[in-house]
Chains A and B, each alone.
Chain A
Amino acid sequence: MKASERRECWGLLLMDFKTYVDQACRAAEEFVNIYYETMDKRRRALIRLYLDKATLIWNGNVVTGLEALNNFFEMLPSSEFQVNMLDCQPVHEQATQAQTTVLVVTSGTVKFDGNKQHFFNQTFLLTAQSTPNNTVWKIASDCFRFQDWASS
């Protein structure tokens, strides 16, 4: 990809690869912090972080669309997340239909009320929606899984 195209992609001038990656990842980190805090403390606001047609796969269960997501998050007991690892990469546009996308992977522990603590892994695809004033990031795809080997 030509450097000039890359710059246009972000709608900003004079940006090189280093800054491009940095920008994407900073946004992703900030987003993730907001996500887990919203999940733990303001659960009702969580769906605002998802695109209309977003899909969540939660331990193998597929939940598609805002209404279904809303019902799902309402039903989920209250949570306490502890994120131990966070990593992000910009997604190559050949995979994304020219929409600026970032891959975010997190890992840590979570305790849902009434259940015991689990290790979890979560993978997000975040897409940027640019408006003249700012860039809004939303979740296009979310995959959450308990990584529990010790328990059945």
Chain B
Amino acid sequence: MRDVQEDPQVRRTPYTTRHKNRRVKWHNEDHIQRAAWRNRKPLEREVGDNTKDGTPGSWFKITVNSIWENKTWLMNSIQSHCSVPFTPVDFHYVKDWARFFVQDAGPASALRDVSYKICGISIIVDPSAEPYSVQNKLEPEEMEQLKVMQIQGTFKRYDVSQQALDLQTLRFDPDLVDHDIDIILNRRSCMAATLQIIETNFPKLLSLNLCNNKLYQLDGLSDIIQKAPTVKILNLSKNELNSAWEVGKMKGLKLEELWLEGNPLCDTFRDQSTYISAIKEYFPKLLRLDGRELPTPIVVDVDTCYLKPGKESSKGSETLKNLVMQFLQQYYFIYDYGDRQGLLGAYHDEAYFSLSIPFNPEDPSVAVPDLHSHPPTDLRVQLLKHTKHDIVRSLCVLPRTQHEFSSFLVETWLQTERVLCISLNGVFSEVVGKSQSSVRAFTRTFIAIPASNSSLCIVNDQLFVRDATPDETQRAFFMPVPTPTSSSVPTVSQEQQEMVQAFSTQSGMNLEWSQKCLQDNEWNYTRAGQAFTTLKTGGKIPEEAFKQIP
């Protein structure tokens, strides 16, 4: 449509042609912009002149402020509400604000309208110069060459046994330098190309080393959360990251090990523990930071809420926190290891206690009274205990337990001078039958009043117990999830191989898990089948057992 073979005279005198018809003007702009593209010079002057009438080619800066953290959902929501389709360019975060660029006034003003359509967001539209990535866009041939070189170079840097990719000091990689390829990971295009290679070739990447690449921002890298979400080890040491907030952009990754030393951000913290807690806020499951093992997380969350207006002193809440934790520690110590009769002292004479369990008619391990012979009122009264003696008697009848204190989440959600309301969530293991133990998840709510010896006296106690999910079990007790690895597989006979194949087809589990199940049941096919069905109904088989490994 656009005639590239423009009259040279027209091209050289852009200003005079402005007064002629519009189509010619567009040709000129187009030329000048494309010329600028090649020379990599932004043409602010031209853009500045055109933004008001929104001629094609002009850019707009879109700033979105929203309460929603989920970037994918946010962008999808905006796209669906926007009457004109648009392509966001250079999406990045500036503090809490999301920013991207769009081309042309049509999408820009449609976006302005979206602001009123979605709850919890505001969209500001401003004219702007060409976004950075457009200015520095690589030519298609360069991109291709870059990709080829990168792929070759990257494969050399990939360690299969560790599923680790080492991209440190990438710019000075001898291969790349020899071929005059400049991979500056700070450039969005380079980072995007690198991530593309990772997504295509190493989708299950575990470890990524980006040490010494002069990175000062991580907007581009944050796409790795979608492209290689399996990354658990990340090395960003010796870069130019200025603030922890930059690292926070990687929040979606479930990191276990992180290296940040040698970045300016490390010096912004008062002391080691502030640094560690700031980083842990973004990566709660982090186990090692800068090569140091982090202390086992004790998740304790104590919120206080004052009914009467008063000064909230930090001293006060520390005392409260200590009081609550001490009380709980004592309570559970007796509950788990001592004679539960000892809990009489913790309860008020007229206290209430009730226990709830989810009712599953198929699960024989959960004892539930026969609902048909007991009308509801009687049942409720039966399961609700009143007076401390009745309560403690019931508690003594419950199975022996072992509570994982470090897994507790404690919340004090109401506090007045008369009463304290505490909620806990956590897991415990319970001895069921002769030597079996089950892991249960529980929620307990205590309502307590102050007692004479500056302790607490329980007036209401509500306990809810259900089976723990495999993830909860693993997380709380730090048990590794059993994953069959190829190195531990003993030789399997032909007949056994056929059994594995058949089992896999019937159960839907992949070959590795099928083999493990059969091995665990001594290659008794029927028994393995029964075991599988029981576990499956109990929801105890993790999803990955069913994933087909290519």
Contact = CB atoms under 8 A, between A and B. Distances in A.
B4 interface: no
Contacts of B341: none
Contacts of A64: 305
Contacts of B79: none
A137 B267 CA distance: 55
Nearest to B473: A149
B423 A114 contact: no
B443 A105 contact: yes
Nearest to B443: A121
Contact of A105 (B377, B409, B464): B464
A147 B70 contact: no
A149 B443 contact: no
Nearest to A87: B356
A7 interface: no
A149 B381 contact: no
Given A77-B119, A95-B419, A114-B70, A89 B384 contact: yes
Contact of A143 (B377, B384, B411, B449): B411
A110 B358 CA distance: 17
* Interface size bracket, B side: 35 or more
Nearest to B414: A141
Interface string A128-152: 0000000000000101010101101
Interface in A69-102: 74-75, 77, 84-87, 89-92, 94-97
B11 interface: no
Contact of B354 (A87, A92, A94, A121): A87
Interface residues of A, number: 42
Contacts of A27: none
Contact of B469 (A84, A90, A150): A150
B425 A87 contact: no
B476 interface: yes
Contacts of A1: 350
A62 interface: yes
A91 B354 CA distance: 12
Given A85-B356, A89-B384, A103-B445, A57 B462 contact: no
A149 B476 contact: yes
A149 B476 CA distance: 9
A95 B421 CA distance: 10
Contacts of B475: 149-150
Contact of B348 (A62, A74, A94, A150): A94
Given A85-B358, A114-B70, A149 B472 contact: yes
A36 to B, nearest CB: 17
A25 interface: yes
Contacts of A145: 409, 411, 423, 425
Nearest to A114: B73
Interface string B359-395: 0000000000000000001001100101000000000
B418 A95 contact: yes
B447 interface: yes
A147 B443 contact: yes
B385 to A, nearest CB: 10
9 contacts: A17-B386, A57-B413, A75-B119, A95-B448, A103-B447, A103-B462, A105-B443, A149-B476, A152-B284
Given A87-B356, A103-B462, 10 more contacts: A21-B381, A60-B411, A89-B354, A90-B352, A114-B68, A114-B73, A143-B411, A143-B423, A147-B441, A150-B472
Interface of A: 1, 17-18, 21-22, 25, 53, 55, 57, 60, 62, 64, 74-75, 77, 84-87, 89-92, 94-97, 103, 105, 107, 114-115, 121, 123, 125, 141, 143, 145, 147, 149-150, 152
